[in-house]
Amino acid sequence: MAGMTIGKLAAAEGVGVETVRFYQRRGLLARPERRGSGFREYSEEDRSRLVFIRRARELGFTLSEIGELLGPADSDSPGTRSVEEITRAAAAKLAEIDAEVRKLTELRCRLRRLVHVCEHGSGADCAALHIAKEAG
């Protein structure tokens, strides 16, 4: 599928043309030169980068983190980082998610206690009612 137009590249990976252009502006995808046809032609390497970007986004990586993993789009470097570097980045992302889950679990417990107090205690026991009375 070499020599794809931007529309074919986008359609092949289930994204919009504007998404491809956005990734180009962010330096994640290169903007190929125009060919004799007048169209820019994207390669299989461009498609592979787009697949990597989409998968990394689905795993929660930011565009900046993805850029670090891919390296510059318009360089002559081989592209994606080593397996060890990707593994380290994934482990760091997992640790961030674990910390966020712990925070959300604690918040859920606190909210459950508040709901229980408000439903089964007196109005004076429910902190949310005190706030509502003061604000209103």
Q: Calculate the dihedral angle through the C-alpha atoms of 63, 69, 75, 76, rounding to the nearest 10 degrees.
A: -150
**Where are any strands of DSSP class E within the chain?**
none
Q: pLDDT value at position 115?
A: 87
pLDDT digits (tens, 9 = 90+) for 120-134: 876 676 766 566 555
Residue 75 exposure: Cα atoms within 13 Å on the Cβ side: 10
Q: pLDDT value at position 33?
A: 82
Q: pLDDT value at position 77?
A: 53
Contact, 45 vs 1, CB < 8 A? no
Which of 1-10, 84-93, 94-103 is predicted most confidently? 94-103
| Banded pLDDT at 62 (limits 50, 70, 90) | very high
Q: Tell me which DSSP letter residue 58 carries.
A: H
Is the pLDDT at 57 greater than 70? The verdict is yes
Beta bridge partners of 40: 34
Q: Compute the distance between CA of residue 71 and CA of residue 77 in angstroms, rounded to an integer.
A: 8
| Banded pLDDT at 1 (limits 50, 70, 90) | very low
Query: Which residues does 100 contact at the CB level (< 8 Å), separation at least 6?
Result: none
Is the pLDDT at 34 greater than 90? The verdict is no
Distances (CA, A) of 14 to 10, 20, 43, 61, 68: 6, 11, 16, 19, 24
Q: What is the pTM of this model?
A: 0.72
134: left (phi over 0), alpha (psi -120 to 50) or beta: alpha
